[in-house]
Structure 1
Amino acid sequence: MQVYDLHSHSSHSDGVLSPVELVVRAKSKQVDVLALTDHDTVSGLEAAAKQATIEGIDLIPGIEFSSQWNGCGVHIVGLSLDLGLPDIHAAVADVQHRRQQRAEAIAEKLAKAGIAGALAGATDLACGETLGRPHFARYLVREGHVSNVNQAFKRYLGAGKPCDVKNVWPSVEEVVHWVVSAGGIPVLAHPAKYKMTRTKLCRLVDCFTASGGLALEVVNGRQAVGMADNLAKIAIQYGLAASIGSDFHLPDQPWQELGCSGSLPAQVRPVWELW
């Protein structure tokens, strides 16, 4: 039986391993099929694909888009993208522009709080990759404003804090369209993490499916007992395939380690049957 991990992140978004290091680690964890799904970027896929050939791993080109539904932040993974199509690159450019606008707004709030140079500092720490709040947090640590990243979020950057800037992400419907236009398979990522009631989650899934969504991430890392079976029932109810992934970001987190997710419930249709 092959080991699938269809949700992982590299240093090209908010992971810590380079795409090459990520693939090498996946091989060491006996992963056979890996999707690199960095947030709002596909810049790490070329290097990952080259290393996957060396390691003998099947690499699935992917991405994880940020979106919003009814005021809630929702993540949609795109799997098996055709990087030769212009649609995916136009979509990435759109989201990167939104991220830049948000970064500028965060920097303005930090400046009003007496912290200058945050945009340039965070951009420098991002090293040309996707700019986000973790880079601002690292800048605050580097400049001595806080002692660690967690404190940066608790004091400045977290939800409701003085320098919090709400997301300006595209709608679920728009993101699903982007993925489909790029020849990919839209997957509603980690549905249990949205902390919705079952009724509200089903409303989200209904919207996602009506927009052209094709799969639900039934297994995300190591979940509570029974969670996968509950999500499998929702996938079956809405005619969705099921996906599985660790949501790996960094080593030393065994609940999100590459290949840790086990297997899908027997009653669902695996997403890899769609490509």
Structure 2
Amino acid sequence: MKVELHCHTRISDGSCTFEEVLELAEQEHVTCLAITNHDTTSGLSEMILRGTEKGIEVIPGIEISAYDYTRHRRVHILGYMVQPADEGIAELCQPLIERRHEGCRRAVNVLAANGYRITWEQVLEYAAGGTGVYKQHIMHALIDAGYTDSIYGGLYKTLFSRGSNGEAPGIAYMPMEYASAQDAVNTILQAGGVPVLAHPGQYDSYDIVPELVSYGLQGIERLHPLHGPEDEKRVTQLAEEHGLFMSGGSDFHGFYGEKEVRLGSKSPGMDTVAAIKASKRNLHNSGPDLIIR
């Protein structure tokens, strides 16, 4: 039996529907599955019911796109056991969804103006059924137009580069304003959830850990496809130092993933699920004083 605690569907930037994810979960013997779509809890109530019918426990989750404005780094915060359709999450995250969607629209217009044979209407088709357009949808259109054969490859790095060492950003790069890391943690807590730092190795977001702990962070993701042995060692040290439980997941996006992974391939085990549930009981049976406002 496997546990999958980091999974995306077509509702955000995954290529698979929830039904397709459920089929994969059955094939891979995943018995506990957290759905952690970016910046939305859309569809979670229905997913929990469908999972129950299949004998799979679905943990309602989210991954909030946040930022460390002190160190100028992206920080992703996972929230487990959140209340679906929580108003606080919608208030924080809906502007993120709208800004991302608009940024992608502008990116497509720039690409078209530079001779790339794609249209906004085509890109919208790839994002159908979701909350908005992501860069993966743009890249999918570029693949079908014959410009590349992969989502994350040389063309992606060229077009969407943020720029560094004096080099200009890629023509499709559109700056985005994210939620603060503190607001992300607080919003998850207020939604009855358990906040966990996602893949700190990916964005080098280790230095913010003590700060996040002061806000109410409960866990940190150790197992992840982009984490090597040094990342896992550093996560373990931080978890022990700050009393955090360690989580993990494949960060499954289907075809839209940064690398090919199998659902459940980074299973942290049922002990982690127990730690999440214990944290929820401890946090939310202790009154609102634990929530930093």
TM normalised by structure 2 equals 0.79
Whole-angstrom distance in 1 between the partners of 2:53 and 2:17: 16
Bigger shift: residues 114-123 or 126-135 = 114-123
Partner of 1:82: 83
Taking the aligned partners of 1:110 and 1:84, their CA distance within structure 2 comes to: 35
Aligned to 2:278: 273
Q: How many residues align?
A: 267
Q: Is the 8 A contact 2:42 2:84 kept in 1?
A: no
**Stretch of structure 1 that moved more, 54-63 or 133-142:** 133-142
1:250 aligns to 2:249 (yes or no)? no
Partner residue, 1:42? 41
2:110 alignment counterpart: 109
Name stretches of at least 5 consecutive residues in structure 1 with no aligned partner.
none
Aligned to 2:208: 204
> For the residues of structure 2 that align with 1:103 and 1:253, how far apart are their CA atoms?
19
- Matched residue SS, 2:138: helix
Q: What is the one-letter code of the residue matched to 1:50?
A: L
Matching residue's letter, 1:230:
R
Does structure 1 conserve the Cα–Cα contact (< 8 Å) formed by 2:96 and 2:178? Answer: yes
Give 1:259's match in structure 2, choosing from 252, 261, 264. 264
RMSD: 2.9
Question: Per-residue displacement from partner, 1:1-58 (whole Å, max 9, x unpaired)?
Answer: x632211111222222211111221122122211011112222424422321121111
The answer to whether the 8 A contact 2:64-2:78 is kept is yes
The aligned counterpart of 1:92 is: 93
Match for residue 125 of structure 1? 126
Q: Matches of 2:222 and 2:241 in 1, distance apart?
A: 13
8 Å contact from structure 2 (residues 6, 249) kept in 1: yes
Report the Cα distance in structure 2 between the residues aligned to 1:254 and 1:120, rounded to whole angstroms. Answer: 27
Paired residues for 1:203-222 under 5 Å: 203-221=207-225
Aligned partner of 1:190 in structure 2 is 199
Q: Residue deviations 1:79-135, cap 9 Å, x none?
A: 101115322222331221221232233234324424476433322321141311111
Q: Secondary structure at the match of 1:270?
A: helix
Cα distance in 1, alignment partners of residues 154 and 220 from structure 2:
34
Bigger relative contact order, structure 1 or 2 (CA pairs below 8 A, ≥6 apart): 2
Q: SS state of the match for residue 62, structure 2?
A: strand
TM-score, normalised to structure 1's length?
0.84
Q: Distance in 1 between matches of 2:137 and 2:53?
A: 32
Secondary structure at the counterpart of residue 106 of structure 1:
helix
Q: Mind listing any 5+ residue stretches in structure 2 that lack a counterpart?
A: 163-168, 281-293
Q: Distance in 2 between matches of 1:254 and 1:30?
A: 21
Comparing 57-66 and 8-17, the one that deviates more: 8-17
State the match for 2:143 in structure 1: 141
Q: 1:254 to 1:86 in 2, by over 3 A?
A: closer
Moved more, 140-149 or 46-55: 140-149
Distance in 2 (alpha carbons) for counterparts of 1:242 and 1:59: 19
Change (3 A) 1:211 1:119: farther
SS at structure 2 position matched to 1:56: coil
Equivalent pair of 1:11/1:18 in contact (CA under 8 Å):
yes
Q: Residue 61 of structure 2 aligns with which residue?
A: 62
Alignment check: 8 A CA contact 1:241 1:270 kept? yes
Percent identical residues: 26
Q: Matches of residues 228-239 of structure 1 in structure 2 within 5 Å?
A: 228-239=232-243
Moved more, 74-83 or 219-228: 219-228
